[in-house]
Chains A and B, each alone.
Chain A
Amino acid sequence: MWDFSRFGNKTALIDEYGTAITYEQLEQEGEKISNVISKRCLVFSLCENSIGSILGYSSFLNHNIVPVLLSSHLEKELLENLMSVYRPAYLWVPNGQVNEFKGSRMIYEGYGYALLQTDDHRNYPLYEDLCLMLTTSGSTGSPKFVRQSYGNVKDNAKSIVEYLKLDESERPITTLPMNYTYGLSIINSHFFVGATLLVTDKGLMQKEFWSFFKNQGATSFGGVPYTYEMLDRLRFWRMELPSLRTMTQAGGKLIPELHKKFAEHAKEAGKNFIVMYGQCEATARMGYLPPEKAIEKCGSMGIAIPGGEFHLVDINGKYISEPFVTGELVYKGTNVTLGYAECGEDLRKADERNGVLQTGDMAQFDEDGYFYIVGRKKRFLKIYGNRVNLDEIDRLVKGRFETIDCASAGVDDHMYLFVTDEALSDAVKEFVVFKTKLNAAAFQVVAVDEIPKNDSGKTLYKELEKYYR
């Protein structure tokens, strides 16, 4: 994937405790890891934003080993379930978690991470171009993974390098988990130009994050809509951050007022604010709004990235050629991923999409060809940047609380749970918070007499809109 030897002694990663690793060391240490893994196989990687975590990841990609990127905070039971479905040969885990895997044998250790050989693996055949797998739904532990190819990862990263004009002077700071496609794309693209990544698990709300940011002169960061709401509340523009050049935004649509506010502040401060659009199914990125258009085209997610193409199709599958007509957004490009995997047998599957992705997002374009997302075809919300499937929530709640009827709906970052028994309101909320691992502030329970349905028993979600619109 990457030719680290080109960048020699340049620092590749540095963390908030002062530990650093050069590109040369990244290559050498990566060789050691791959040497103890005898052949191409599946590795479950429990990720955090740390040097060890990224070291393992880059070694796997450079040596034809296929990692499945999961959060190191994933609940034990969910992880065990995933392991029983995919039977990985190895685990790449933080040292602190080694003891949780009793039957496994440690065969490498370095930079706070350990490689464990599992005792119950099965060598499912792996499709030759399969590079890595990511989850679509964050923390619910669904075994549905997105299959990304070597070409997907490489082409998307190079396109990002091109439109963000990245070079080796960049010093991005981590703000998103690396097992989240947007966070991962920042690592992937910056490794191609020999930049220095500032790695931390600390967040925007912590003093340590900002000290690290300032001491190490971070030049860019990425954020989901909620990140920008937090920065706004932090009165971000009063902070002195001379090293900062670029802020990117993806993971859902930012409300236009905030888009405008950040675009204007960025212009005043001589920085770039870049709204982008993407999905895990397209590796990471599909569209971006060039920073010089950030104010003029406020509310737009921009144009297709270099090498990609957008189209809108109407309900009959015909291309829309008129501006301001809503249709489903379709993307074409070499970063459209292979497809999904739901079990070990699926790992042998080849490309099922042939470079075309129906995004499920409804959009319009203006007379200059800039795209605006106006809605969604499927029932899901983005909560703090995480995709949450509403039908899945309904199923989970009904499965757990058999005596009630329920329906979930809402807008991004605010889910409404409609239940038919007020006495169970707190229990339902607690259950959904537990299942999604998202902050309770995102959920509101509303007790109703009955869930509105049509004659054939289908829930009329439209009728619930009056409670939150």
Chain B
Amino acid sequence: MSNLEKYDGAFIEALEVEKEQLEGLEYQQIPSWDSVGHMELVAAIEDAFDIMMDTDDIIDFSSYEKGKEILAQNYNIEF
């Protein structure tokens, strides 16, 4: 599985969304991505990539695109 597939999979599973909704998706844009959903999402991403995210990265993770940027910059995950 590619990193992008893992990343998308974490969103689809944690937020119960379709793949088509991911592009441009932002925190609080849909009901399932609230603070509870955010925790689920972070847990799913940490599992998928076997990482522990820093506090600053968790609260900076405000959109689908921003998340990719954070993972690439701070956790050496290439997309």
Contact = CB atoms under 8 A, between A and B. Distances in A.
Contact of A440 (B32, B59, B62): B32
A441 B59 contact: no
B25 interface: no
B8 to A, nearest CB: 18
B59 A384 contact: no
A230 interface: yes
Contacts of A230: 35, 39
Contacts of A207: 56, 59-60, 62
Contact of A441 (B40, B42, B58): B40
A19 B62 CA distance: 24
Contacts of A236: 55
Contacts, number: 52
Given A206-B59, A207-B59, A238-B55, A441 B36 contact: yes
B24 interface: no
A439 interface: yes
Given A204-B35, A384-B36, A440 B55 contact: no
Pick the most buried of A207, A384, A439: most chain B CB atoms within 10 A of its CB: A439
Interface in B17-51: 27, 31-32, 34-40, 42-43
A206 B62 contact: yes
A442 B55 contact: no
A235 interface: yes
A76 interface: no
B78 interface: no
Nearest to B15: A440
Contacts of B16: 440
Interface residues of B, number: 21
A230 B31 CA distance: 18
B11 to A, nearest CB: 14
B26 to A, nearest CB: 11
B27 A206 contact: yes
B54 to A, nearest CB: 8
A239 B55 contact: yes
Contacts of B14: 441
A203 interface: yes
Nearest to A73: B31
A448 interface: no
A234 B58 contact: yes
B36 A210 contact: no
Contacts of B58: 205, 233-234
A226 interface: yes
A11 to B, nearest CB: 26
Contact of A234 (B32, B37, B59): B59
Contacts of A206: 27, 59, 62
Nearest to B34: A439
A437 interface: yes
Interface in A399-443: 433, 437-442
Interface of A: 203-207, 209-210, 226, 229-230, 233-236, 238-239, 384, 433, 437-442
Interface of B: 14, 16, 27, 31-32, 34-40, 42-43, 54-56, 58-60, 62
23 contacts: A203-B34, A204-B59, A205-B39, A205-B58, A205-B59, A206-B62, A207-B56, A210-B59, A229-B39, A233-B43, A233-B58, A235-B55, A239-B55, A433-B31, A438-B36, A439-B32, A439-B36, A439-B40, A440-B32, A441-B14, A441-B37, A441-B40, A442-B36
Given A203-B35, A226-B36, 12 more contacts: A204-B35, A205-B35, A205-B39, A207-B56, A209-B59, A233-B43, A234-B59, A236-B55, A438-B36, A439-B32, A439-B34, A439-B37
